Structure 1
Amino acid sequence: MEKWFNVGKIVNTHGIKGEVRVISRTDFAEERYKIGNTLFLFLNEKDQPLELTITTHRKHKNFDLLSFEGFSNVNEVERLRDGLLKVPESQLGELEEGEYYFHEIIGCTVYTDSGEEIGSIREVLAPGANDVWVIKGKKGKDILIPYIKDIVLDVNIAEKKIVIFPMEGLLE
């Protein structure tokens, strides 16, 4: 059975020419939303996914605006709202060393270089210069860790274990 990965959610329409607003959940938006690429829309669990081919992509505020082959006006895309855009595992490309997909990082347990367990990663934010990992701390408080080489010392996806150097004030 094919494994699917969420790359975005259609939250609304945009304009009258068939564009949709997408909240992106992919770490490779420029590559994933390239014109001609195929995404699969899941409107609910029991229906077959709808295959969509991207015809336009542009950024607008915090959204990715997409349009699809065969959908040329707002009335046609209205029914796509609230759908999840996914790709099959077979469409995931190979990454270079030191690069990871969000789904590989989420769920990893984070330790300090002295062996103290901090918590597990529950979300990855991509605000700009570098990703930020949101860790659910052992005391229930969220801890934000920037993914930079001075802090992240080792990532072992197979063991779901990450070791960091906690710079002064980072864990407070």
Structure 2
Amino acid sequence: MKKQFLEAGQIVNTHGVRGELKIVPWCDSAEFLCRFDTLYIDKTPVKVLSARPHKGNVLAALEGVGDVNEAMRLKGKTVFIDRTNVVLPEGRHFLADLMGLDVIDADSGERLGVVADVLTPPAHEVYVVKGAHEYMIPAVDEFLVETNVEGGYIKVRLIEGMQTDV
């Protein structure tokens, strides 16, 4: 079952004396996180008064946080977004939805394991698949044949060198 609320970042510090917060985004970009009118902290909706990207992070003013002391109380908290407020482009998925999916070799039909982690280096995502062996599969069309989140699987085409525990 898909989670309605997804981890989107962490409040790491305050910014200035008026209660602005510095948030490290855990999503595609700071700009993506800035699009939300409401964030969720400790399962409570909090209205975003303003948000702007700053050096890869987000500087945000939240309703009810009017000074640096109020902002300090939120330091270290995780911010969540509501998936119902997001329309993803065709072919894109939330990383949380990929975790635990079965990974199947498209040629042999063999189950290779499950998505255990998704690495996000600058070029493209890499799926870490764990089963009898461990594989690192770049998330590019050359290797991803089919991603079916509702069906619970990803079909891949492997090449030599993807198995990491030889």
Structure 1 residue runs without a partner (length 5+): 43-47
Which TM-score applies when normalising by structure 1?
A: 0.77
Task: Give the distance between the partners of 1:22 and 1:135, measured in 2 at CA.
Answer: 30
Residue 116 (structure 2) pairs with residue 122 (structure 1)? yes
Residue 89 (structure 2) pairs with residue 96 (structure 1)? yes
Tell me by how many angstroms 1:162 deviates.
0.7
Task: Give the distance between the partners of 1:16 and 1:137, measured in 2 at CA.
Answer: 50
RMSD: 2.6
Aligned to 2:32: 31
Tell me by how many angstroms 1:86 deviates.
1.2
Tell me by how many angstroms 1:37 deviates.
2.4
Equivalent AA in structure 2 for residue 22 of structure 1:
I
In 2 relative to 1, CA 106–54 (structure 1 residues): closer, same or farther, beyond 3 Å? Answer: farther
Aligned to 1:162: 154
Tell me by how many angstroms 1:5 deviates.
1.8
In 2 relative to 1, CA 134–12 (structure 1 residues): closer, same or farther, beyond 3 Å? Answer: farther
Question: Structure 1 stretch 111-120 or stretch 157-166: which is displaced more?
Answer: 111-120
Aligned to 1:10: 11
Name the SS of the counterpart of 1:80 in structure 2. Answer: coil
Contact 2:15 2:59 in 1 (8 A): no
Aligned to 1:45: none
Tell me by how many angstroms 1:50 deviates.
4.3
In 2 relative to 1, CA 20–137 (structure 1 residues): closer, same or farther, beyond 3 Å? Answer: farther
Contact 1:27 1:126 in 2 (8 A): no
Which TM-score applies when normalising by structure 2?
A: 0.79
Identity score, percent: 27
In 2 relative to 1, CA 123–18 (structure 1 residues): closer, same or farther, beyond 3 Å? Answer: farther
Residue 56 (structure 2) pairs with residue 58 (structure 1)? no
Equivalent AA in structure 1 for residue 119 of structure 2:
L
Equivalent AA in structure 2 for residue 86 of structure 1:
F
Which of 115, 138, 158 matches 2:132?
Answer: 138
Aligned to 1:109: 102
Tell me by how many angstroms 1:107 deviates.
1.4
Q: Output one character per residue of 1:111-167: Cα deviation in whole Å (capped at 9) or x when no partner.
A: 22212222211232322221222223335x5x3221100011111112111111111
Contact 1:151 1:165 in 2 (8 A): yes
Structure 2 residue runs without a partner (length 5+): none
In 2 relative to 1, CA 67–29 (structure 1 residues): closer, same or farther, beyond 3 Å? Answer: closer
